[in-house]
Amino acid sequence: MKRNRFAKSVAVAAGLVLLGSLQQPARANNNSDGTVQSPDAAPPNNPQATVGPFSPDDFAGLSYTADQKAEIDKILRDTEFRKNVVEKAEKLTQDQKNAMLVGYSRLAYGAVFKVLSPEQQRQVRKRIIARRAADRAVQKRPPAPN
C-alpha cells in the first residue's frame, strides 16, 4: 500500500517537473492582470480545493506582512498558470489532469506554509489538528438508519 502511494507520488512529481520545465518559456508571455486569489478563499467550483489533508481554510484569518503577501501572490499566480496549462493539455487523460491539479494544489499549500512565520505555522498546525479530529469524529458516527 505504502509502496503504491510512493510510486504514485513520484510519478506525479515527475510529471509536474516535466510539465513545468516545458512551460517555462510560455510563462514569459503570460499577461496577467495582477489579480490573485487570496490563500484563504478557494474557488467554489474547484473539487481539489479540499483534497486530502489540505484545506485553504487553514490559512484563513492570518495577518500577513507585505513580503508574505507578495510571496504568496507569486506562488498562487504560478500555481494557477500551471493548472491552466494542465487543464488545456490535450495529451493527458482526465485522471492524469486531476492528479496533476491535486499535486499542484499540494505544492502550493506547502509553499505557502513555508512562507509563514513560526507562530503562524503553529496556528495552522492547530487548525489542521482540530479539523482532523472533527473528521475522525464524523467518521466514527454510526450511519443513520433509513
Q: Which three cell numbers stand for residue 117?
A: 512565520
Residue 90 lies in a domain: yes
Q: How many folded domains does the chain comprise?
A: 1
pTM over 0.85: no
**Longest pairwise C-alpha distance within the chain:** 57
- Residue type (1 letter), 35: T
pLDDT in tens, the chain (146 residues): 555 665 555 555 555 444 454 444 444 444 444 444 444 444 333 433 444 456 667 888 889 999 999 999 999 999 999 999 999 999 999 999 999 999 999 999 999 999 999 999 999 999 999 988 988 888 887 777 76
Range of the domain at 62: 2-24+56-140
pLDDT for the residue 94: 94
Residue 63 lies in a domain: yes
Residue 36 lies in a domain: no
pLDDT for the residue 72: 93
DSSP state of 90: S
Residue 111 lies in a domain: yes
Rounded to whole angstroms, the Cα distance separating 114 from 84 reads 24
pLDDT for the residue 140: 83
Residue 34 lies in a domain: no
Q: Which three cell numbers stand for residue 110?
A: 506547502
8 Å CB contact between 116 and 124: yes
pLDDT for the residue 105: 92
pLDDT for the residue 141: 78
Task: Compute the C-alpha angle 126/76/71, nearest 5°.
Answer: 80
Q: List the one residue out of 129, 90, 101 whose CA is nearest residue 43.
A: 101
8 Å CB contact between 36 and 16: no
Rounded to whole angstroms, the Cα distance separating 53 from 73 reads 22
